[in-house]
Amino acid sequence: MIPFLLTAIFAFLLYLLLTAGSGNLGVWSPAELVMGAFLALIVAAIARTFLCRNHTYRMANPLRWLVLAVYAVVPFFLEMAKANLDVAYRVITGRIRPGIVRIEPGLKTDLGVLLLANSITLTPGTLTVGVDEETNDLFVHMIHVKPGAEKKPTLDATEITAWFDFPAWIRRIAE
Amino acid sequence: MTTILDTAIMICLAIGLIFNALGVIGILRFPDVYTRLHAETKTTTFGTIFIGLAVVIYGLAALLETGEGQYLTLSVHTIIAVVALAFTNATGAHAIARAAYRCGYKPKPAVVDRMAEANQ
């Protein structure tokens, strides 16, 4: 029952976002609201086993979504901008020193590993190639391995970003 | 007012186009599949975020000016498109890199390869 309700609410909110600005009741038209509720119930009936597969309802807390939004706009975007300038410099000059390093974020949940892997991949200059399924270590291809870093067996996640500690933020969101 | 907004939109579009162009140059310059993925997928995401930002600024300005709902729809849809692009781009790049590695394309100029050691 709880997965059904959560999926229905999630689908309805998504439908509201997609149809914002359609009418005069607030910013939605009455027809869209009725249709949205109807479709959300159908979607929830079909997809309730997919969204909450392992029966943890941690992400139903709106505070975690707020932290996710802050994380995406402040630390993540700043890292991304800085790393983009770095990659632009390397595209122009061609000074690269590529290599695959192993990092040890110490995250426990699948969602946390997904968020960290996606953050690392979206930050230019670092690209997640693989995940060690047992220890949740990530294999990251870096376009410029710092001299000396290739000798260590595992790197800390803070060593591949410039200013912010991504795993600490992600632990706040997903664990 | 409109000139400031126009300038902001132009700057966003210019940043977006410059980074997308750098992504294309990166494909031509870099030596192997992984470094090309760096240039291609990531810089283009950043460029596209700025192009999306230009559309959002335009939509919000038009919304404030006219008050028509269609401009709100335009802005919200652009934000959703940028979020979807960011997630699918990261996942796609991950899938390409993993597939390339499993097919045997090792990173050619590389100072270190921890993944090869782990898989043995």
Contacts with A118 from chain B: Cβ below 8 Å: 87, 90-91, 94
Q: Which residues of A105-116 are buried (b: 16+ CB within 10 A; e: fewer)?
A: bebebebbbbbb
Beta bridge partners of A126: A142
pLDDT value at position B10?
92
pLDDT more than 90, % of chain A: 1
Provide, as residue numbers in chain B, all residues whose Cβ is less than 8 Å from the Cβ of A128.
94, 97
Average pLDDT of chain A, as a whole number: 80
Please give the residue of chain B at the shortest CA–CA distance from A121. Answer: B90
Question: Do both A13 and A73 map to the same domain?
Answer: no
* Structural domain for A36, as ranges: 2-55
Whether the per-residue pLDDT at B118 is higher than 70: the answer is no
ipTM rounded to 2 decimals: 0.76
pLDDT tens string A104-163: 877 777 788 888 888 888 877 788 888 877 777 888 888 777 777 667 777 776 777 767
Classify residue A62: in a domain, yes or no. Answer: no
Q: Both A99 and A163 in a single domain?
A: yes
Question: Concatenated DSSP letters for A41-104?
Answer: HHHHHHHHHHHTTT---GGG-HHHHHHHHHHHHTHHHHHHHHHHHHHHHHHHH---B-EEEEE-
Q: How confident is the model at residue A25 (pLDDT cuts 50, 70, 90)?
A: low
The verdict on A78 and A24 lying in the same domain is no
**A63 is a domain residue:** no
- The total domain count for chain A is 2
Question: In this predicted model, what pLDDT tens digit does every residue of B52-104 receive, in sequence order?
Answer: 999 999 988 888 888 777 788 888 889 889 888 888 888 888 888 888 888 87
For A149, the closest chain B residue by CA position comes to B112
Residue with tokens 């929830």: A44
Could you tell me if A43 and A91 lie in one domain? no
| Euclidean distance between the first and the last CA atom of chain A, given in angstroms as a whole number | 23
Q: Are residues A9 and A95 in the same domain?
A: no
